[in-house]
Amino acid sequence: MVKVCVLKGGLSSEREVSLMSAKGLSVALKEKGYDVIEHDYQSLDSLIGFLKSNPVDVVFNALHGGDGEDGGISAVLDMLKIPYTHSDHRACALAMDKEKTKVFAKTFNVVVPGGYQIDSPREIEDLPYYPMVVKPVDEGSSVGIHIVKDQAQWNIVKNELDLSKTWMIEEYIPGLELTTAVLFDEALTVTDLKPSVEFYDYEAKYTDGITTHTIPADIPKDVFEKCKLWALEMHQRIGCRQISRSDFRYDPKTNTLAFLEINTHPGFTNLSLLPEQYIFAKKKTYADLCDLLVKDSLKNAL
């Protein structure tokens, strides 16, 4: 029986998402006949010790943010010669840095919002225009994002920002929040996300009933196909392995589509977008997807 370690938890701000993902993964993998153990990640050293004491055939990386998503875990597993799901450390490191990803995207004509990185936000008296998006360079799940509508709000927000993080300011694009998942070398479909709150934030992503998922998105065909094209292009050019999810904003009034970011470790909760798109596009189950990724990881290790 193949033994799978589901790597969960961690110390990032996305710990709770990881725990939710891991819960569903463990149930699904057991359903598929795997011997599953779980490890709540605390540090690279503790992970190495755990894996040396508990030999496994493959690691399913259910971490979000931090070492689990920035390439640290991938590099360690490569060193230990243990197969694992998701992308290698090079792709993870690039995708985790939103500003570098945007610069990279522009080199092959993918449209991105205007913006720039800021090192000392509290010294900035005013933003170039409003509204603008202020967000951490290296967080996922919409953690830490602010939509700043005027200078008065900026004066409040800038004093709340964690100065240990690097921040970026980005053009706010009104309209629709769209996302496209890629599985191997196929862009699955496009989902339109309509939160009942003002912004598709952490709560909207992971609280049942707050956001409506329209799948497939009811948008012009050329925009739909461009989402799929850009998602696949980013996946391939960054060097992602197995899965990724790219997020976009689309303004119907100006017919403007802009790429926001690519996620190498999309969520695996029962509300998560990649499993939902897989089930819709392939007419298969969540457990089938988990099984597919484990088998691919083992195959690539041979």
Give the chain's domains with CATH numbers.
3-86+285-301 (3.40.50.20), 115-171 (3.30.1490.20)
Query: According to the model, what pLDDT value does residue 160 have?
Result: 86
Query: According to the model, what pLDDT value does residue 193 have?
Result: 93
Burial of 49 (0-12, 13-18, 19+ CB in 10 A): exposed
Burial of 210 (0-12, 13-18, 19+ CB in 10 A): middle
Query: According to the model, what pLDDT value does residue 90 have?
Result: 95
Strand order in the sheet with 35-41: 35-41, 3-9, 58-61
Query: According to the model, what pLDDT value does residue 139 have?
Result: 63
Cα–Cα distance for residue pair 301/59, rounded to 1 Å? 12
Which residues in the chain land under pLDDT 50? 141, 199-209
- Token pair recorded at residue 117: 């990185």
- Residue pair 42/108 in contact (Cβ under 8 Å)? The answer is no
Query: According to the model, what pLDDT value does residue 142 have?
Result: 55
- Helical ranges in 249-285 per DSSP H: 273-282
Q: Return the closest-CA partner of residue 72 out of 246, 296, 281, 265.
A: 265
pTM listed for this prediction: 0.88
- Residue pair 104/58 in contact (Cβ under 8 Å)? The answer is no
Cα–Cα distance for residue pair 263/68, rounded to 1 Å? 12
Give, as one character, the DSSP assignment of residue 66.
H
Question: How do beta strands 132-136 and 167-171 pair?
Answer: antiparallel
Query: According to the model, what pLDDT value does residue 143 have?
Result: 61
Instruction: Find tokens 């089938």 and name the residue.
Output: 288
What angle (nearest 5°) sits at the alpha carbon of residue 30, between those of residues 202 and 297?
75
